[in-house]
Structure 1
Amino acid sequence: MKIGYARVSTEEQKMDLQMEALKRSGCEQIFVDRGVSGSLFDRQGLDAALEYLNTGDMLVVWRLDRLGRSLSKLIELVEQLGKMGVEFHSLCESIDTSSSGGRLIFHVMAALAEFERSLISERTRAGMQAARERGQHLGRPPSLTAEQVDEAIIAVEMNGEYITDVARRFDVSRRSLRRLMRMRLERQAG
């Protein structure tokens, strides 16, 4: 049985074209999501379609981007369908996992997505290493300046103020203030 899935990102968009194409392809049941972003994979209509599918069925979409925008998530979803014994067909891209050519195209796409992820990861690691070598600080900026930490140390250690009151004054948590004070004192001692 062919099960269709259609999606539009906003309530104002029409899905007539998708619905007609899905009906022409022989879909007996069509699930829809209106006003839902393609970046989300937790969608009521898609969830209902996945629940409805049985072994031997086929999930049909008008275009891949109706199913989702993230290639890695698309691949994950199609692999999940395969494990359920469900085929996948994207009408515009002519990807049909019930044929050997369709499976080949899909696997090539999966390999390209994996290659892209590894390139991004390599570039990120290289950029971080270069930044470290230039002496740049990576991550979130410190919540307090060195002068503010020194002021907090004086307030707590010398003036006997409660760390809770000092942390509130600097708008940080007690835990963060303790950590920053300890790191500053260790740096000054070492």
Structure 2
Amino acid sequence: MEKKSGAKSDRQELKNALEYIREGDNLVVYKLDRLARSTYDLHRIARGLEARGIGLIFIKEQIDFTTPAGKLMFTLLGAIAEFERDLINERTAEGRERAKAQGKHMGRKGQDDKQVKQALRLFAERESNGLSVNDISKMTGVPRSTIYAKIKEIAVAE
């Protein structure tokens, strides 16, 4: 069972299923938008299956792609799914822009300067204190990646 988004066309389980299925078989998908979210990908997959003599059935929408009416419904619902996805992306981008304009912080919470300074001090003294970056990270709560990034910033500035 595929666990990734229908928006991603590079899904390994889908690739495995498409390679495994044989002529005369039916690919049964629970919901149309689980197979793909773009009409281009839907048609690419459906046409590929059809060319190989494989049926395509969608349970929830009750669409059988092997019939002309099923092909029509498939195309219409695929276009609607793509439209919905585009709307979601548009609204998400607008929301991000609005939050940014209002000065709201986007992303992770920044590190406490005191903790970062303590981590850098301990790093500078590591020959005498015998601490590794991993030890310093655990002691101060500053991620190793942050310690290394700050060290790199200091080295570039010097």
The reply to whether TM is greater than 0.5 is yes
Distance 1:123 1:59, change over 3 A: same
1:165-184 correspondence to structure 2 within 5 Å? 165-180=135-150
1:80 aligned onto 2:50: no
Once residues 121 and 68 of structure 1 are traced to their aligned partners in structure 2, the CA distance between those partners, rounded to angstroms, is 24
The 3-state SS of whatever aligns with 1:124 is helix
Match of 2:112 in 1: 145
When the two chains are superposed, the root-mean-square deviation of aligned CA atoms in Å is 3.7
Once residues 83 and 163 of structure 1 are traced to their aligned partners in structure 2, the CA distance between those partners, rounded to angstroms, is 55
**Match for residue 103 of structure 1 among 71, 90, 94:** 71
Q: TM-score, normalised by structure 2?
A: 0.62
The 3-state SS of whatever aligns with 2:83 is helix
1:123 aligned onto 2:85: no
**Matched residues, number:** 136
Q: Which amino acid aligns with 2:45?
A: Q
| 8 Å CA contact retained: 2:30, 2:60 | no
The 3-state SS of whatever aligns with 1:89 is strand
Distance 1:181 1:72, change over 3 A: same
Q: Which amino acid aligns with 1:107?
A: T
Gap regions ≥5 residues in structure 1 = 1-36, 62-66
Q: Which amino acid aligns with 1:148?
A: Q
Q: TM-score, normalised by structure 1?
A: 0.53
1:71 aligned onto 2:33: yes
Larger Rg: 1
**Structure whose residues are more often helix by fraction:** 2
1:113 aligned onto 2:81: yes
**Structure whose residues are more often strand by fraction:** 1
Once residues 137 and 33 of structure 2 are traced to their aligned partners in structure 1, the CA distance between those partners, rounded to angstroms, is 45
